Structure 1
Amino acid sequence: MAGARRTPACDNHLDELAISIQRRFEGLSPPSDCCIFTVPERLRRQNEEAYTPRVVAIGPYYHLDSSFMQIEDHKLRYLQNFLQENQNYRLRDYIEKVKSWEDDARNCYDKQIDLDSDEFTKMMLLDGIFVIQLFLMHCSRRSKLPNDRIFGKPWMFDDVCRDMVLLENQIPFFVIERLLKIAFDSHQQLMVELVGWFFKMVTRRPASVMESEVKHLLHAISLTFLSSVRRTPNESNEKLKFTPSAMELVAAGVKLRRRESECLFDIEFEKGVLNIPYLTLDDTTESYFRNIMAFEQCYCPNKYLTDYMDFVHHLVDTPGDAELLINKGIIENWLSNKEAVARVINALGKENILSEHYYFHSLSDKLIKHCQRPHNKWKATFKRNYCSSPWVVISVIAAGVLLLLTIAQTVFSALSLA
């Protein structure tokens, strides 16, 4: 009851409660710089399959999943081959090194890993060597194993590459880099070559130079988009307005044009023309984009790909918008139809948290202002209705000439009667 006097027993209880909390303070460790995350539920429920590995588990989150036990033997074959080709160090040497990295590696994950020290070390070694061997074999720096179950089946290789860019299917990049350093003296140059291949293999775009510390393979791929950043993020405090759809832009006289640029973000609007680099959509695009965007949501202050997909999501509001962009060559469609294109793009635009300083704010603002000017719509309507073909233009001119002649005849008749 309010105002009641506290008893000694009550005071003792409060002291005990305070002491119990203080003891928990002592057990706290400094926050770790984790960089490998479980996908937020709001994103996972949009398309769980896009975040789930199909054929191979990399790292601890799917390590004990029985679905991936068969390929664990294949990882052992890759390790055996690696040791045979690099005999300067014994297996024990690699185990000792990897075990010394254990604390740093565990701190990269956003949740506690329920594996003992030996099991965790074995997993990191097998997965790290697996990634290195896969890269070396594909680049023809290392002979492929006889009857290799990955390279012998194209679909299997594609699925492995797809699984290696999932947010929950990662090991710290420093593990791969340090293992390479132990095995190869020229590890820095080799790493650039191998990761460069990986960029091009997954993104189908040229590799970019990594200018910051890479946390894992998905992070390495996300850094390729930074080469696309042509301007500083918007610092306006104005309320965000959504970009009109492609059909709305065309109705307001905007011309849509494919821009020959490798940079997805290199979108410009000048003199009534919206220049957009092409976007390829195939069966892997949704999973690939979703995982980079999930990583941005969890780790990155500027969410460039998330902002880009939000812009495209509003540009493609309906299958009609998708068809328009496909016909212009702005979207390269490897999906079934325009409805599938609209579905994938709209799905990628849901449940995302945009950057505090939305990257396409100024571009959207320009397009909105253009569409709001009445004379742009009138001019577009006139061109569409009266200038759609040479014969229509000739008919309009002929009608105009006939009208002028009629007016002239009327004026002359009036003057002659005066």
Structure 2
Amino acid sequence: MSEFHVNIDQLGNGVSTPTIYRVDDSLRDSLRYTNEKAYDPMIISIGPLHRGKSHLKAMEQHKVRYLKKLLGNSGHVDMYKDAIRSEVKKARAFYAEEIGLSDNEFLDMLVLDGIFIVEFLREYKVVDGGRVRRVGNLIFDSVYIVSHLLRDLVLFENQIPLSVVEVLFHLSNRDDKQEFKDLFWPLTGCHDVPRAIMANDDDKPKHLLGLVHSVKCFSFAQLRTHEKRWEEKKNINSATDLKEAGIVFKKKPKVEGKDCGWLDITFEKRTLYIPELMISDETESLFRNMIAHEYYLSGSRPRYVSDYVFFLHCLMRSTKDVEVLRRCEVIRNWLGGDARVYEMVDRLGTNVFNSRVFSYEGVFDGIHEHCEKKWNKWIAVLRRHHFNNPWTILSLVAAVVLLTATIVQTVFTVTSYYKES
């Protein structure tokens, strides 16, 4: 076991206001009769808000097994409890509602849940072919259980303070080469968590979802200076309408070393470059919980994911719009049909709250400028009313050919007349 280097005084530092709330009804409204469980854990409870639910009790045994495996023959759990015992009060303040657990029960929960997070992510390995390696652990015998666990660990209501997880990581660390930030790539999808995210104690993510959000938005945040406010609610036309107006959609190539630049949408020379978005069964849950995280951020901090979802909502107003983006390889659809993607984006875009300084202000301005030019408007009208089906195009081509033939015949007749005279 490595030497413990974390300063316990830093535990919970900066949590002066609650960080975790129960998701507001305004965010849940669009889920009614559709995906009502987007904020609820499927197989594991982390933290107090979903603790004790019957369908989550089976995983409690795995938490205990992880703890026993870590302790080995020593059984010295008191070392872990003592490391965070003095911070129970700060950890309670992490939640917006009063937690009905005694201090000892709350402490036991933090240790059990924190050790599970650390040990599960330590054991998570990927081998060739993308399959999860079995490590003598029943959890890893099922890719579905692993997938559900990764989903549940980043739910907004299913969190404990990240500072607690960090203390438990360092106290239990058996590999001096492994850094705390290296633990999270199964959740973030990025193999190299930027050091800047973890460097500043005041701005350090407060929980796993906040960490995932920070990592996924980091490279995009570095590109945006946000110099002006978004004074009024703007919209852009759908993908179909923009295509008819002469705008081209292209998949933005990945930049080496920036595998999380999925938010970086740009508009140049009538071309809208959009990084490829893979849409699967987990996409809606992840987006919803990142949006919930942004919804409760204090102050006027940028809401990058909310802005991105609003952008998608503008582009995809019908199944036909989804088809346009899919054919341009902007979307990779694993849901099974364009209609399902449209319905998901429509739900996500309901009641979404944008940044006060909109992340795509410049892109929207460029699109509006393109669409306002008279020549582009004329082209759009021609395409919409005269080139909207192959028969109209064939008729126009035939008319042009007939008119050309008539002109040629007329010129030939007149020329022949003058030659004869």
TM-score over 0.5 for the alignment? yes
Counterpart in 1 of 2:317?
317
Counterpart in 1 of 2:358?
358
Counterpart in 2 of 1:273?
271
Counterpart in 2 of 1:63?
51
Counterpart in 1 of 2:130?
none
Residue 299 of structure 1: SS of its match in structure 2?
coil
| 1:217 has 2:208 as partner | yes
Tell me the alpha carbon deviations over residues 169-193 of structure 1, each in whole angstroms, 9 at most, x when there is no partner. Answer: 0010001101112223767842122
Counterpart in 1 of 2:374?
374
Q: Which runs of 5+ in 1 are unaligned?
A: 1-29
Tell me the alpha carbon deviations over residues 238-291 of structure 1, each in whole angstroms, 9 at most, x when there is no partner. Answer: 422111100000111111111123422211111111111111111010001000
Counterpart in 1 of 2:159?
170
Deviation at 1:234, TM superposition (A): 5.3
AA matched with 1:347: R
Distance 1:77 1:31 in 2: 31
Deviation at 1:292, TM superposition (A): 0.4
Q: Is the 8 A contact 1:246 1:321 kept in 2?
A: yes
Per mean C-alpha deviation after superposition, the further-off stretch among 187-196 and 331-340 is 187-196
- From 253, 266, 289, give the equivalent of 1:260: 253
Residue 257 of structure 1: SS of its match in structure 2?
strand
Counterpart in 2 of 1:110?
96
Residue 296 of structure 2: SS of its match in structure 1?
helix
Q: Is the 8 A contact 2:230 2:356 kept in 1?
A: no
User: 1:145/1:101 Cα in 2 relative to 1: closer, same or farther (>3 Å)?
Assistant: farther
For this pair of structures, how many residues does the alignment match? Answer: 379
- From 154, 169, 194, give the equivalent of 1:180: 169
Counterpart in 2 of 1:21?
none
Counterpart in 1 of 2:243?
250
Counterpart in 2 of 1:18?
none
Q: Is the 8 A contact 1:251 1:377 kept in 2?
A: no
- From 232, 243, 246, give the equivalent of 1:239: 232
Distance 2:402 2:267 in 1: 36
Q: Displaced runs of 4+ in structure 1, greater than 6 A?
A: 185-188, 391-397, 413-418
Tell me the alpha carbon deviations over residues 84-117 of structure 1, each in whole angstroms, 9 at most, x when there is no partner. Answer: 29x6x92111111121221221111111111100
Tell me the alpha carbon deviations over residues 135-161 of structure 1, each in whole angstroms, 9 at most, x when there is no partner. Answer: 111148xx9774x34212221111111
User: 1:125/1:105 Cα in 2 relative to 1: closer, same or farther (>3 Å)?
Assistant: same
Deviation at 1:303, TM superposition (A): 0.4
Counterpart in 1 of 2:10?
none
Tell me the alpha carbon deviations over residues 344-374 of structure 1, each in whole angstroms, 9 at most, x when there is no partner. Answer: 0111101111111111122112212322333
Per mean C-alpha deviation after superposition, the further-off stretch among 208-217 and 279-288 is 208-217
Distance 1:110 1:118 in 2: 20
AA matched with 2:312: V
Per mean C-alpha deviation after superposition, the further-off stretch among 392-401 and 172-181 is 392-401
Distance 1:368 1:118 in 2: 59
Deviation at 1:299, TM superposition (A): 1.1
CA RMSD of aligned residues (A): 3.1
Counterpart in 2 of 1:305?
305
Counterpart in 2 of 1:34?
18
Distance 1:398 1:343 in 2: 45
Between Structure 1 and Structure 2, whose CA radius of gyration is higher?
A: 1
AA matched with 1:308: Y
Residue 258 of structure 1: SS of its match in structure 2?
strand
AA matched with 2:324: L
Distance 1:145 1:252 in 2: 55
Q: Is the 8 A contact 2:188 2:212 kept in 1?
A: yes
Q: Is the 8 A contact 2:240 2:324 kept in 1?
A: yes
User: 1:157/1:91 Cα in 2 relative to 1: closer, same or farther (>3 Å)?
Assistant: same
Per mean C-alpha deviation after superposition, the further-off stretch among 118-127 and 58-67 is 58-67
| 1:402 has 2:400 as partner | no
Q: Is the 8 A contact 1:181 1:187 kept in 2?
A: no
User: 1:285/1:101 Cα in 2 relative to 1: closer, same or farther (>3 Å)?
Assistant: same
Per the normalisation by structure 1, the TM-score is 0.82
Distance 1:382 1:417 in 2: 44
Per the normalisation by structure 2, the TM-score is 0.81
AA matched with 2:219: S
1:134-149 maps to which residues of 2 (within 5 A)? 134-139=120-125, 146=136, 148-149=137-138
Q: Is the 8 A contact 2:182 2:193 kept in 1?
A: no
Distance 2:24 2:273 in 1: 34
AA matched with 2:273: N
AA matched with 1:122: D
| 1:282 has 2:262 as partner | no
Deviation at 1:60, TM superposition (A): 0.8
